[in-house]
Structure 1
Amino acid sequence: MRALLLALLLAAAPALAIPAKAIVDPREMLPDPAQEERARAIGKELRCLVCQNQSIDDSNAGLARDLRRIVRERVAAGDSNEQVIAFVTDRYGDYVRLTPPLNAVTVALWASPAIVLAFGALAVLAFYRRRRAIAPPPPLTEEERARLARLSAE
């Protein structure tokens, strides 16, 4: 019975896990609730460069804390959301954005699997066309058949 209870508990553990949110230090928070809400919304769009799959709003890493501080400073200075994101992107590159912008680099990145697949399909098609173009060997002559029969009989 204990083993069954332990197995059920272990199976349910991932479902019961609550994702951890970064605890924003009250000293980091902006006094204006509207600005704080904007800063948090911007923070959800920026990637933590240490954690890589978390936003700076969800990360406890030191770099994420520094980025949250920069975002709040820019919001308090009166920058728009786009200006704040551009400020951070200029310093850390497009990788800092959780949803990268559509530009030539990202289009090439997303299109590259289809391009590679198309080149592979063309290579396979060319291989089979070339293979089909090769003429089959001529039929055996009477002399060759006789020799083959002799060799098979031995």
Structure 2
Amino acid sequence: MRILVALIAILFSVSAPVMGQSALPPAPYANRQISDPVLERKAKALMETIRCLTCQSQSIADSDASMAGDMRSQIRERIMVGEEPEHIRAWLIERYGDWVSYEPTANPILWPLWAAPFLLIGLGLLLLRGRIRRKRK
């Protein structure tokens, strides 16, 4: 009985990586470049500014994740049809949220976040000035 349990455990541990792989083939332009070098440069420049949703620390141009491959393929296909990179970026942001883009947005709701460091530095300088004045007296 122990041998049977051990064989079953070995079978599942060996087959686990195979079961974790996607059965779907990669997207057509996930790892294949556009034949037109100008269009490929446009696509590559855009891919370097889009964050991988799986890895989160890499751009989709650098990531090997299947999700990044799908996004690369979508970008290349849209570039080949004639869409502009900024239109594609807007579509990706609309679909996945602001977080997908490495380029920060300037939405009015985010202005306090941009102003916070300057306010904190100003407050620190005021406190430092008050402390220096107290020491002189």
Q: What band does the TM-score fall into relative to the shorter chain?
A: 0.5 to 0.7
Q: Sequence identity, in percent?
A: 38
- Residue 44 of structure 1 corresponds to which residue in structure 2? 48
Alignment equivalent of 1:30, drawn from 11, 17, 34: 34
Quick check: 1:57 aligned with 2:64? no
Report the 3-state secondary structure (helix = DSSP H, G, I; strand = E; otherwise coil) of the residue aligned with 1:91.
helix
Q: Secondary structure at the match of 1:45?
A: coil
Q: Tell me the SS of whatever aligns to 1:67.
A: helix
* Secondary structure of the corresponding residue to residue 105 of structure 2: coil
Read off the aligned partner of 2:86 and give its amino acid letter: E
- Aligned pair count? 98
- Say which of 54, 66, 71 aligns to 2:70: 66
Task: State how far apart, in whole Å, the 2-side matches of 1:99 and 1:84 are.
Answer: 14
CA distance in 2, matches of 1:50, 1:71: 17
Aligned CA-pair RMSD = 2.4
Per-residue deviation at 1:75? Answer: 0.4
TM (normalized to structure 1)? 0.54
Is 1:107 aligned with 2:123?
no
Residues 26-76 of structure 1, C-alpha deviation per residue, up to 9 Å, x if partnerless? Answer: 3xx212111111100000111111111211101111111111011111101
- State the alpha-carbon separation in 2 of the partners of residues 41 and 32 from structure 1: 14
What secondary structure is seen at the aligned counterpart in 1 of 2:35? coil
Structure with the greater alpha carbon radius of gyration: 1
| TM-score normalised according to structure 2 size | 0.60
Q: Distance in 1 between matches of 2:109 and 2:53?
A: 20
Superposed counterparts of 1:82-101, under 5 Å: 82-101=86-105
Q: Please tell me whether residue 81 in structure 1 is matched to residue 77 in structure 2.
A: no
Answer whether contact 2:31 2:69 (CA < 8 A) is retained.
no
- In structure 1, the residue matched to 2:134 is none
What residue ranges of structure 2 are gaps of 5+ in the alignment? 1-29, 128-137
* CA deviation after TM superposition for structure 1 residue 110, in Å: 2.9
Provide runs of 4+ in structure 1 moved above 6 Å: 116-119
Judge conservation of contact 2:54–2:67 (CA < 8 Å) in 1: yes
In the TM superposition, residue 100 of structure 1 has moved relative to its aligned partner by 1.7
